[in-house]
Each structure stands twice: as structure tokens, then as C-alpha cells.
Amino acid sequence: MGQTCCHASGSPLVIDGSSAGLPERSELPARPRHIPARRQISWDLLRSGFVLLVITYHATHVAPVIHPELAPRPFSFSHQVGASLLLVVSAYFASATVGRHPTGRYWWGRVARLVPAFLAAVVLAWATMRYVAPTEWYTPGKRDLVGNFLLLGNWRPQEFPFLDGSYWTLPLQLMAFTVAALLWRSRWGRGRALRVVLWLAVLLPLALWPVRAAGPSEAYRMVADGFGIHRVHLFITGVAIWMWSNGRLTRTHFLALITTCLLGQVVHTLALGPDGWSEDWTATIGVFGGIAVICLAAHAPDWDRWIPGPLRTAVQWVAGISYGLYLIHQTIGYVLMRRLQDLGAGPLEQTAAMFAAGLLLGWLLTRVVERPAHRALMSFYDHRIRPRWVSYRCRLSYRPDVADHPAFECRRSGKDGKGSGATAVE
């Protein structure tokens, strides 16, 4: 995972027995540096398109289902497609970036990007539900606020319901980024071992499907939903696409793995109703088509020549605020639609207002919280956390007989109280 990126910007320290645990000088990575990369319009188009599908699903279908007093929509998109495809894209870029920086910095960067904006969105959703929503709607308390901060909604949805239904993806992403970092640090993150991990991850939920279909116990449901076991195929799909597009999987192996992931999607969308088992084939085919387009974006040249300038600007803007837009549009949008209906607005005006409010609030969340918090937390890591961790590693591994080795320069000039800096690896 991520080996090509890693080789381009410096490999992490790999200790083997042949060197008695001492790295070669060339294996010592420099302090992480930001290397600007040209944004590809193809990925921006996918991000913006998928997040707009999410809003369409919520505005035209979910809203009148959970709030029946809202007027029927003239158009209903009732298929959960966009969020699933966003998880595939997230896994693809997790694979592409896990080797660009030391593992700790990679993980910290993912958390710094996701968590502050999420916490702010939770507070806004909680305040909106408590102070702006109609009195007959559910009024959340402090317990709900804490439960959402702790991401307990997938584990105990009856006790800690999500204040916004979009939050279910966040704990899965955090777990996926953590697993990616741990795998990259271990021998299971590359080569044949990684392929074994991918196959086990996609086959295990398929093997457990009969348990789910038979009506599992609450303990099983809590573990399966808490860890997102029945969504793992989406992350494996993203990893497989990245490996295939970078020559890490043969075409035959990729087709076998991606077909198994698609089977996992079919099984996941099976639902038991009064008339027996049913399958939302529209949603399933939509996810299949989206995965095919992701494969095209990963393997083909960028699409910039096909996108006119004004549309490119709009697409890049929406893609740049897509995370904030995803987090903040749903609950606040429902309250806005209900208040507008009370004032006489029709379904079309309500839906348009939900889109407009989501774009505005998503932009504000991105500009005011997500980006500044990410910059501040990364600066804190680079100037406070990483130097202390490097110093600790150097003191822990110091050996007098190799004290002149360049890996232990920090012992002589770093965080031992006698020098001004550290030079080592994470």
C-alpha cells in the first residue's frame, strides 16, 4: 500500500537482521515537506458528483420519510449510492498517500482533517435541533451531544442516535485510516501478505452473511455495525483500484477481487421485508457504475480537456468543500425545509434551499474550521509531537558501540538538553 508514493518522497525506516537494526544513511527520510501537486479535475468531478448525490437522496427521499409532515417531493431519488462511492474514493486516496509521510504523521493528518470539522458540525446540528427545530421534533440533550462526540451511533443507535444521519461514515473512515497506518508499518502492508489481508477482509463478511440474514443477536449486530464489517468491501474496492492502476495487481487478480467486492455490495443491499427478500438493484447498479467510473479516473488521463473552464471552477469549488458539505447539510437542511414549509414554500423551493444552505454552510465549515484546524494541528505535530517522539526513539535505541552512526545524531545534538535539534526518523 502506497509504496510508489513512498519511494517518490522517501522510504520509512525498515529494520532487518542484515544490518543489526541500523539504517543506511540513504534510508533516513528528511523532515516531511509539502510537494504541491496539480489537482486532477477527474477526481474533483467524482467527489462533487458523489456528494451531490448524497444531498439529493436526503432532500428528495429521506426527508419526507423521517418527517412525514413535509410535502411529498415531485421527484424522489431513493437509492443510497453517493456515500458508498465516497468511501471507495476515500480508500483509494488512503492507499495513495499512506507512504508519503512517516506513518504517525499520516495518521495524525487524517485525524486532523476529519475530527475538528466533525465536532463543529455536531455542535451545530445539536444546537439547531434543540433551539430551532419544531417543538414536536426530537429535542436532543447533553447525552446525545456526548454520544455523537464519541461516535457511538453505529454501536448503540437506539441509545445514541446520530444527530445527523451522515455521520455513520466517519468512524468507518477513522478505523480504515488507522488500519492502513498499522498495515503500512508492518509486513502485512505490502506484497503477498497484503493480498491475503484484502481477500480475508472481503470474504469474511460474505461468510458471515447467513448469520446476519438469520436475525443475529444484539451483540453480533453491535460488533458488525460498530466495526462496519458489512461495508468493508467498499474500502477494499478503493485499495484494489489503486493497486491495479499502479501495477500492483494483475488484471486477472484485480477482476477477481473487484468482482468479489461487487458481490459483497449485492449481499449488503439485500433486505428482508413483508414479502421476503428484496434487492435495491437501482442502488446496486448505481454503485457498480460509480466504481467503473472511479476505475476510469484512476487508469485514464485526466479529463481536464473535456471540462469547460466555468464548469471546472464550480466542480473544483464543490470538491474543495465536499467534506464540510457532507457533514452539515442533512439535519440543518431538514429543519430549514420544515420552517420554509410553515411559511408557505413548496417542495421545490424547500429542496433548493437545502442545497443552497448546505453549500454555504459547507463552505463556512471548511474555511473557518476544517482548514485552519488542520494547519494548526499539523504544525503542532511537526513542532511538538514529532521531535519528542524522535528524541524518545533515539534514546531508546542508543548503543554506545554505534554512537557515531548518523542515525543517532540526535543523541549528540538533539533533545538531550545539550543541542538544538534532532535528526532521526519516525
Residue 278 backbone dihedrals phi, psi, to 5 degrees: -140, 160
Q: Which residues pair with 273 in a beta bridge?
A: 276
- Strand-strand pairing, 276-279 and 270-273: antiparallel
Per-residue pLDDT averaged across 345-349, rounded? 95
Using pLDDT thresholds of 50, 70 and 90, give the confidence band for residue 46.
very high
- Give residue 165's pLDDT: 92
User: Which range has the worst mean pLDDT, 23-27, 348-352, 362-366, 377-381?
Assistant: 23-27
Q: Side-chain half-sphere of 117: how many Cα atoms within 13 Å?
A: 29
Using pLDDT thresholds of 50, 70 and 90, give the confidence band for residue 405.
very low
Q: How far apart are CA 392 and CA 386, in angstroms?
A: 10
Q: Buried b / exposed e across 279-288, counting CB within 10 Å, b at 16+? A: ebeebbebbe
* 245, 89 Cβ separation under 8 angstroms: no
pTM: 0.82
pLDDT in tens, 56-67: 999 999 999 999
* 220, 205 Cβ separation under 8 angstroms: no
Q: Name the nearest CA neighbour of 369 among 36, 52, 115.
A: 115
User: Which range has the worst mean pLDDT, 104-113, 136-145, 261-270, 395-404?
Assistant: 395-404
- Give residue 273's pLDDT: 64
14-28, 269-283, 319-333 — most confident range: 319-333
pLDDT in tens, 369-399: 999 999 999 999 988 776 665 554 555 454 4
* 390, 410 Cβ separation under 8 angstroms: yes
Kindly list the distances between the CA atom of residue 375 and the CA atoms of 108, 109, 251, 350, 368, in Å, as whole numbers in the listed order.
12, 9, 39, 36, 12
- Give residue 215's pLDDT: 79
* 425, 13 Cβ separation under 8 angstroms: yes
Kindly list the distances between the CA atom of residue 24 and the CA atoms of 189, 224, 388, 412, 424, in Å, as whole numbers in the listed order.
22, 44, 22, 18, 12
User: Which range has the worst mean pLDDT, 97-111, 186-200, 296-310, 409-423?
Assistant: 409-423
Q: Buried b / exposed e across 265-275, counting CB within 10 Å, b at 16+? A: bbbbbeeeeee
Residue 409 is placed in which grid cell? 545524531
Q: Name the nearest CA neighbour of 374 among 116, 39, 91, 121.
A: 116
Per-residue pLDDT averaged across 189-209, rounded? 92
Q: Name the nearest CA neighbour of 124 among 320, 296, 368, 347.
A: 368
Residue 159 backbone dihedrals phi, psi, to 5 degrees: -90, -30
DSSP state of 369: I
As a whole number, the mean pLDDT across the chain is 84
Please tell me the chain's helix, strand, coil percentages from 3-state DSSP, rounded to the nearest 5.
70, 0, 30
- Give residue 333's pLDDT: 97
Per-residue pLDDT averaged across 153-175, rounded? 94
Q: How far apart are CA 113 and CA 320, in angstroms?
A: 13
Query: In this model, does residue 31 exceed pLDDT 60?
Result: no
Taking the CA atoms of residue 413, residue 414, residue 420 and residue 425 in that order, the dihedral angle to the nearest 10 degrees is 110
Per-residue pLDDT averaged across 83-107, rounded? 93
- Give residue 389's pLDDT: 54
User: Which range has the worst mean pLDDT, 26-40, 223-237, 252-266?
Assistant: 26-40
Residue 117 sits at the vertex; the CA angle it makes with 298 and 178, to the nearest 5 degrees, is 55
Per-residue pLDDT averaged across 328-356, rounded? 97
User: Which range has the worst mean pLDDT, 166-170, 229-233, 299-303?
Assistant: 299-303
Higher pLDDT, 287 or 2: 287
- Give residue 424's pLDDT: 31
* 287, 265 Cβ separation under 8 angstroms: yes
Kindly list the distances between the CA atom of residue 216 and the CA atoms of 107, 168, 206, 381, in Å, as whole numbers in the listed order.
34, 21, 15, 43
Percentage with pLDDT > 90 across the chain: 65
User: Which range has the worst mean pLDDT, 210-224, 317-331, 371-385?
Assistant: 210-224
Residue 213 is placed in which grid cell? 440474514
* 56, 303 Cβ separation under 8 angstroms: no
User: Which range has the worst mean pLDDT, 142-151, 311-320, 394-403?
Assistant: 394-403
Query: In this model, does residue 412 exceed pLDDT 90?
Result: no
* 143, 161 Cβ separation under 8 angstroms: no
- Give residue 305's pLDDT: 84
